[in-house]
Amino acid sequence: MSAIVKPMITLKEICTEAETIRLTNQNSLGDKIVSDIYVNAEIIASLAVTRKISEKPSLDSRLDDILTSRLFGFPIMLLLLSTVFWLTITGANIPSEMIGNALFAFQDQLVLWFNLAGAPDWLTGVLVLGMYRSLAWVVAVMLPPMAIFFPLFTLLEDLGYLPRIAFNLDNMFKKCQACGKQILTMCMGFGCNAAGIVACRIIDSPRERLIAVLTNNFVPCNGRFPTLIAIATIFMGGIVASEYQTAIASLVITILVMLGIAITFAVSWALSHTILKGETSSLVLELPPYRKPQIGAIIYRSIIDRTIFVLKRAMIMAAPAGAITWILANVYIGELSMIAHLAAWLQPLGYAIGLDGFILLAFILGLPANEIVVPILLMSYLSSGQILEVDSLNQLREILISQGWTWLTAVCTLLFCLLHWPCTTTLLSAYKETGSKKWTLLTFLIPTVIGFAVCFTVAQSARLLGLV
Amino acid sequence: MDTLPTNIPLSTINIGSICQIVSLNLQGLLRRRILDLGMVPGTSVQCIRKSPAGDPIAYLVRDTLIALRNEDARQITVTLL
Amino acid sequence: MDKLSIEEHRRMLREHFGITTTPGQFTVALAGNPNVGKSTVFNALTGLHQHTGNWPGKTVDNAQGSFTYLDSSFLMVDLPGTYSILAHTVEEQVARDFICFGKPDATLVVLDATCLERNLNLALQVMEITPKVIVCVNLMDEAVKKNITINITALQKELGVPVIPTAARNGIGLGDLRHALYEMSIGLALTNPRQIRYSSEVETAIQELAPKISRCIGHTLSPRWVALRLLDGDQAFIDSITHYLDLENTLQELAV
């Protein structure tokens, strides 16, 4: 008996047949399938689950009544945010100093070893005074605040509170054709803009995700806070009596942060109506029950996943930056170091936007890491061969004033610090997340252009009005 | 006796009211996401609370709190229970 | 179509999923809805022996961790938290592709005891893809607080796969979980996963397609499930099938 061989059916033919069936059913089979699965789930659940209905509202419900109420919702959010900031800033001071001292002490040891090994001065300079010193600085300044901020943020996440923030603020984002979850990426950006950009994955729509990525840098990260605080304290705080100094400085920082948030909304709106016009946004947000946080897991997740990840990337960027900066500061062309030459070249542009050539150069050289902007500035001003920090704010004020700083310089520096290009780690994250050179370029350009425009306007207006 | 309103938008039900889903006039990814969360025709939904700004609104569906924007909830037709 | 040999499987995991296993190591996929405590289970089982990265070519988180139990080594792959695996988002695709084509030795689906009905949606879908499923009902402590009782025996009977109650935050149930994963991986656990009953239009359509599908691609994939994907119009899945089936052919040709 001969075997009957059936002709091989190809996958393609089956697909076509499936298409036909699907269309015959008016494309409703997909819905039916989901419905049917739920019917099965209901049957199983009815057999396996029993519950006692309680009459009184649950703790969750009562908490939400307060945290999302018209009266308390917003104030509590602001209060929580300020508390997190305050804890991060004050808590980080002493550890930063300790780490800094330890690492710089080790630097002296390194110099000793290099000398003993007979290394040429320039090599010691590049590797120890440049590379190592910058690394040490970045670690000392970056690590403590992040080690406080990220655990606090992760704590709020574990508690289940973060979706409530998105719930409360979604309406404002909707008006900009963006997603309420963007506020969470902005909060992350306060810790580190690179982490903020990676956090944009929580936004489902690609268009809204891009908006969040492009605007994340308007939120000042932990690395920029020392700069903002130092300048705000010196200049704004210096105007009033010393007991009000910290209060005034805090007020200035708050205003700057609010300004950053306002610009975020404005730019999000603009993007939605120009280059990122597209399908309307939508929100489907689960509000999970409040849960008791697991402290151990929080510390682990925030330290290993977030802090160390960011630190690693920053160190990779800061090391070569330190080397380059040392070279520029110690290689002389004629009478002046290369830094001095570059600063002179940048002076006209810097002056136009209310800064000076040295400040602008410091921001440029601080591209790899925002933390080294002030040290580079001081190094340039004092023509020292290595980045340095001064011991007291008074000393800092004297140096700046002697270099010609006015209140306008301080204001414009603060504004430029808030509104300038993202650091290289952030740009790299943007590239990895968007997969596109075009969007990465825009991540660089948008804050930069706005920064220049705002500072230019402020500087020229102040001068025209004779206020300086 | 008044009969309860049928076929009204989800966005119009009051806080505390329970209703049953009749149909979804949504498309694309939004539709799939909402279906996947169990908001299929025949499911009961309860309106729980509104955001301080009035929008979005949180609904209880199969023991889960889901927040939806007004315009999207308007496209979901329900019958009050 | 024959199954891949162990070596071919390890190679496929490495090249297409970026997952490197040690010889003899079992792979376990970890799936679940968002907010069910999946990470808690993951951390509890793998501790510090984990690392995070991305799935190859995608901006989706990938966490892998390892643990040992009774002299066997396990690599647990934490899939993105998804409400469903019907694959309309990148996260769902990644999860689906790994469970379906990565062929883990066991798939652990974590459910939230306080909203079991919604969570069963994902469990049932996973059970359609592979019979090697273990269901973990987590947050049992939360359920107690909310006066919800789960009859685990009844649930296990209805689902046809092992069901392990846990309160991972308090370390409860983890031993049973490890043991269940072990038995599943070495082939000791016999499961009879509940088949989803669909309405008549859908069932008729499945009957039309399923026999043809099994003639075409054999039994490496459940023909019923493939039929459902095609009826849903899942183009990405069709691409995945072609890609991975060609892949299996290539690997076997190379092995010869």
HEC string of A176-241 equals CCCCCCHHHHHHHHHHCHHHHHHHHHHCCCHHHHHHHHHHHHHCCCCCCHHHHHHHHHHHHHHHCC
Q: What residue ranges do the domains of chain C occupy?
A: 6-198
CB C146 within 8 A of CB A35: no
C-beta atoms surrounding B3 within 10 Å: 6
Q: Do A180 and B56 touch (CB under 8 A)?
A: yes
In this prediction, residue B3 carries a pLDDT of 67
What is the three-class DSSP state of A392? coil
Query: Are the C-beta atoms of residues A223 and A142 closer than 8 Å to each other?
Result: yes
What integer is the mean pLDDT of A325-329? 89
Query: Three-class SS of residue A282?
Result: coil
Top-confidence residue, A58 or A169: A169
User: What backbone torsions phi and psi does residue C65 show, to the nearest 5 degrees?
Assistant: -145, 160
Partner-chain residue, chosen from C83, C84, C115, that has the shortest CB–CB distance to B63: C115
β-pairing, C61-69 vs C50-54, is: antiparallel
**Mean pLDDT (whole number) for A151-162:** 91
pLDDT band at C247 (very low <50, low <70, confident <90, very high): low
**Is it the case that residue C254 has pLDDT exceeding 80?**
no
Assign domain C6-198 to a CATH class: alpha beta
**Could you say which DSSP state residue C172 is in?**
B
Across the interface, of B32, B64, B69, the residue whose CB is closest to A286 is B64
Which residues of B are less than 8 Å from C89 in CB distance? 29
Supply the pLDDT for residue B76: 95
User: If you write DSSP's letter for every residue of C99-145 in order, what string do you get?
Assistant: HHHS--SEEEEEEEGGGHHHHHHHHHHHHHH-S-EEEEEE-HHHHHH
Residues of chain A neighbouring C228 (CB-CB closer than 8 A): 33
Distances, alpha carbon C201 to alpha carbons A24, A26, A35, C215, in Å: 11, 12, 13, 23
Q: CA nearest B30 in C: which residue?
A: C88
Measured distance CA(A429)–CA(B74) in Å, rounded: 38
Give the separation between CA A144 and CA A95, rounded to whole angstroms. Answer: 6
Q: B56 and A288: CB-CB below 8 Å?
A: no
Of B29, B36, B61, the CB nearest to C84: B36
Query: Which residue ranges make up each domain of chain A?
Result: 73-278+290-464
- Lowest mean per-residue pLDDT among A246-255, A357-366, B46-55, C127-136: A246-255
Q: Provide the domain count of chain B.
A: 1
Between CA A85 and CA B7 the distance in angstroms is 49
pLDDT at A55: 72
Task: Please say whether the beta carbons of A44 and C145 come within 8 A.
Answer: no
For the stretch C18-62, pLDDT in tens is 899 998 899 999 999 999 999 899 999 998 888 888 898 888 989
Q: Do C88 and B37 touch (CB under 8 A)?
A: no
C28 neighbors C75 (Cβ within 8 angstroms)? yes
- Rounded-to-integer distance, Cα C231 and Cα A29, Å: 7
* Residue-range definition of the domain harbouring residue B73: 8-80
| Among the listed residues A286, A158, A180, C39, the one whose alpha carbon sits nearest the alpha carbon of residue B62 | A286
CA distance A190 to chain C (A): 22
What digits encode the pLDDT tens for the residues A380-404?
A: 888 777 777 777 777 888 888 899 9
Question: Nearest CA to CA, how far is C115 from chain B (Å)?
Answer: 5
Closest by CA position to A67, among listed A2, A201, A159, A205: A159
Cβ separation C117–A10 shorter than 8 A: no
Q: Which of these ranges, A131-140, A340-349, C107-116, has the smallest mean pLDDT?
A: A131-140
B40, part of any domain:
yes
The confidence score (pLDDT) of residue C1 equals 38
Between helix A206-215 and helix A424-434 the angle, nearest 10°, is 170
Contact B29 C117 (CB under 8 A): no
- Which of B32, B33, B62 is the closest to C118 by Cβ? B62
ipTM score of complex:
0.94
At A180-234, the pLDDT tens digits run 999 999 999 998 999 999 999 999 889 999 999 999 999 999 889 888 988 888 8
Number of neighbouring beta carbons within 10 Å of residue A308? 14
* CATH code of B69's domain: 2.30.30.90
DSSP 3-state assignment of B50? Answer: strand
- For residue range A261-295, what is the model confidence (pLDDT) as tens digits? 999 999 999 999 999 988 777 899 999 999 888 88
Query: A14-23, A421-430, B45-54: which range is least confident on average?
Result: A14-23
Quick check: is B2 in a domain?
no
**Cβ neighbourhood burial of A464 (10 Å; 0-12, 13-18, 19+):** exposed
Which residue on chain C is closest to A291 by alpha carbon?
Answer: C142
Mean pLDDT of A89-116: 88
State the nearest Cα–Cα gap between B12 and chain C, in angstroms: 25
Average pLDDT, chain A: 88
